[in-house]
A and B are shown apart, each in its own frame.
Chain A
Amino acid sequence: DGGITQSPKYLFRKEGQNVTLSCEQNLNHDAMYWYRQDPGQGLRLIYYSQIVNDFQKGDIAEGYSVSREKKESFPLTVTSAQKNPTAFYLCASSPTGVGTEAFFGQGTRLTVV
């Protein structure tokens, strides 16, 4: 089945630790995105990538890092520098082009313990 897969579904992190969230897609999409969602809030863009080996900061990139070594994969690392990492993280992909439909994964809920 074609789609976008995020793992794990739930993730617990101790303060001071880095954690990496996985995002894989088999839709052959060039563009991939990471969003953060807090309760009662909309989606805020963390990072996006339009093509392999290239990515740009979104609106809230501080404390996060990404890589795009393969077209299918766009992992997000939440570093210890992110002061309030507890949130729901959503990965999305879309074909290249302005305002094309985005396809979302099922999300990873990260909790700092």
Chain B
Amino acid sequence: SQQGEEDPQALSIQEGENATMNCSYKTSINNLQWYRQNSGRGLVHLILIRSNEREKHSGRLRVTLDTSKKSSSLLITASRAADTASYFCATADRGSTLGRLYFGRGTQLTVWP
């Protein structure tokens, strides 16, 4: 399978704490993306990191990419109850001429007030 795999499957923290989610993948990639899904809703794009980048920030989000280990992490700082959602990583294969993405199974994050 070319899917990414997120770890942990579930994460429960208190408001104000940081949340870290990891993603491992198997192929050479063009880029890696993180998405958020609220329960029963569609996915929303959070951030994209290219294969030649090592770290990227967007607001309270920090993403790292280690292509030698084929892994990425998503850090959400100072978490809020509204951050409660599932988070998915998705990879775009290097060399592919198509726009398809390969999604992992997601990490369910619960942030308690």
Contact = CB atoms under 8 A, between A and B. Distances in A.
Interface of A: 6, 31, 33, 35, 40-43, 45, 48, 50, 58, 88, 90, 92, 94-107, 109
B101 interface: yes
A58 B35 CA distance: 20
B60 interface: no
B42 A98 contact: no
Given A90-B43, A101-B45, A48 B98 contact: yes
Interface string B77-113: 0000000000010111100111111011110000000
B38 to A, nearest CB: 10
Nearest to A104: B42
B30 interface: yes
Contact of B104 (A33, A42, A100, A103): A42
A106 B41 contact: yes
B42 A100 contact: no
- Counting chain B CB atoms within 10 Å of each CB, the highest count among A33, A95, A101, A105 belongs to A101
6 contacts: A42-B105, A98-B30, A99-B30, A101-B48, A102-B43, A102-B101
A40 B33 contact: no
Contacts of B98: 48, 50, 98
Contacts of B100: 33, 45, 48, 58
